[in-house]
Copies of this chain bind each other. A is one copy, B any other.
């Protein structure tokens, strides 16, 4: 059977490149070791293969459905998630005081990559639940953690995030769900919520004992009016089932039918429309998390994690498409390369240079994306557990800069990899009999949910570069410079080192130019800036992996050859695009006409 995530690659990325071994020396991860990590990856791979993969197509064919107002799922989904929890994976990333296994986040993420590669739609329930529980552990009271987070960590309950509304997709300042104060309770300040939330993944189902919705809503002012803008946006834990066993007033108003990711039910939810009034009063019952008005800030804790999770899923789908098309290209006989036209037997697809190029491109995209996401996952660990305050703070700042890229780069280029996986399969790849077709449909979501590519770009340029005054960028630049100086010493790498240095300098110059401008003239260039920085970071990663893999080198020469081939492809075809995007971002003429002149 094909690998889900190539273990040779993963071992190199975690062990040789990220050097996760140094985490085990930290108190937080004292229970862990190279051996326990290896065992955990084995478990994840086994659960992924035996419980997630088998219903990948079934869950695509049989979407979740509504039956008497409740959502029904294929039973294999619950079975897989049960096995996931039973194997300790739902508890893995949590500290021991929450019943967790205290695994490093980067190791947990590598485990998640397996189940995501096997079945992204089923894995999404676990990803959302972990993110939900983490938020509660970070911001909830002890009572809230006990009642709402611990069951999720144990795999007995599930979590969602409820942000969007019909009139407010990306624009969260415009949400209109109302929260009215309803007294103080052991679970905290209680509110009554009324409003409609949409695009709620995992919004309803019959799995586990409860679903904890984290709902953004605005607290009504004393005048009964909702405050304008982001003021007053607060976060409420709103369980499907209340402590006394009664149903909260949350109704599934409809399901979305998606191109892919079909196993993840996606709901329109009505809160407090009066369908159920547990105690006779109107409104769904929710408990304030953190302080009033902190909703967006807290939610971004979960969102940032979810963004990296989206990038991880996109990378995992790309890795799986790469593995499938690599095998197909080796097995399928078709045609002959130039100069062998008269041979009797047909050659395997991989004998054609064009097919090899599509494979190498996939490797560059898929494993480049996976490396970026795991690098960020490790920064999450460093932000919390690095030995000095400065290291922790730098890790957090660098993570902030890279989070939009960890979300968008795998989503955009992982999809491009899946496109190539189909192309290698020819007509077969376009049929629903082959997984690559579904990988492509599934992966198309990742550039949209948890903030579109455009929203990430605005975050990157506005908050993470300009308002940060380039501090995060300087941290990244120092790492890039270090890689360049080491690569210059290696004759086979010095050309790429030179290219990367030049491209980084041009990009930095572009940022300097934009920083001098008024926001209204700088921010419209966010898209090309993000594209440029994304490609720069991946070029850096490939060069850095070459530096680690080549001199002296790991035991496996095939691994080094593969890394060099991917870097070679990336520096020939992709890295030079940084210059195009940098130039365009510097040049206002590249902008589409202003709204007033916009006629097409």
Binding site for B on A (CB under 8 A): 164, 167-171, 173-174, 198-199, 228-229, 256-259, 326, 333-339, 341-342, 344, 346, 350-360, 363, 419, 422-423, 426-427, 429-433, 437, 440-441, 444-445, 447-449, 452-454, 457-458, 462, 519-520, 523-528, 558, 561-562, 565-566, 568-569, 572-573, 576-577, 579-581, 583-584, 587, 589-593, 595, 597-600
Report B-chain residues with C-beta under 8 Å of the C-beta of A577: 577, 580
Is B520's CB under 8 angstroms from A431's CB?
A: no
Cα A462 to Cα B351 in complex, Å, equals 18
Given contacts A359-B592, A360-B592, 17 further A-B contacts (CB under 8 A): A229-B342, A259-B431, A259-B432, A338-B462, A338-B520, A351-B595, A355-B454, A356-B592, A356-B598, A357-B592, A358-B454, A423-B447, A430-B448, A562-B600, A572-B580, A573-B580, A573-B581
Report B-chain residues with C-beta under 8 Å of the C-beta of A360: 592, 600
Report B-chain residues with C-beta under 8 Å of the C-beta of A259: 430-432, 437, 440-441
Number of copies: 2
The closest CB in chain B to the CB of A437 belongs to B259
Min distance, Cβ A471 to any Cβ of chain B, angstroms:
22
Closest A-B pairs by Cβ, 8 of them: A353-B524, A356-B592, A171-B335, A572-B590, A354-B454, A558-B599, A338-B523, A360-B592
Report B-chain residues with C-beta under 8 Å of the C-beta of A441: 259, 441
The closest CB in chain B to the CB of A518 belongs to B339
Report B-chain residues with C-beta under 8 Å of the C-beta of A453: 423
Cα A572 to Cα B598 in complex, Å, equals 18
Cα A569 to Cα B592 in complex, Å, equals 7
Report B-chain residues with C-beta under 8 Å of the C-beta of A576: 579-580, 583
Cα A577 to Cα B357 in complex, Å, equals 17
Report B-chain residues with C-beta under 8 Å of the C-beta of A584: 572-573
Is B426's CB under 8 angstroms from A169's CB?
A: yes
Between-chain CB contacts (< 8 Å), 27 pairs: A171-B334, A199-B427, A256-B431, A257-B433, A259-B440, A259-B441, A337-B595, A338-B519, A351-B595, A353-B527, A353-B592, A354-B458, A354-B524, A355-B454, A356-B593, A363-B600, A422-B444, A423-B454, A426-B448, A441-B441, A561-B597, A565-B592, A568-B589, A572-B590, A573-B584, A576-B580, A576-B583
Other-chain contact of A344, B199, B228, B337, B339 (Cβ < 8 Å): B228
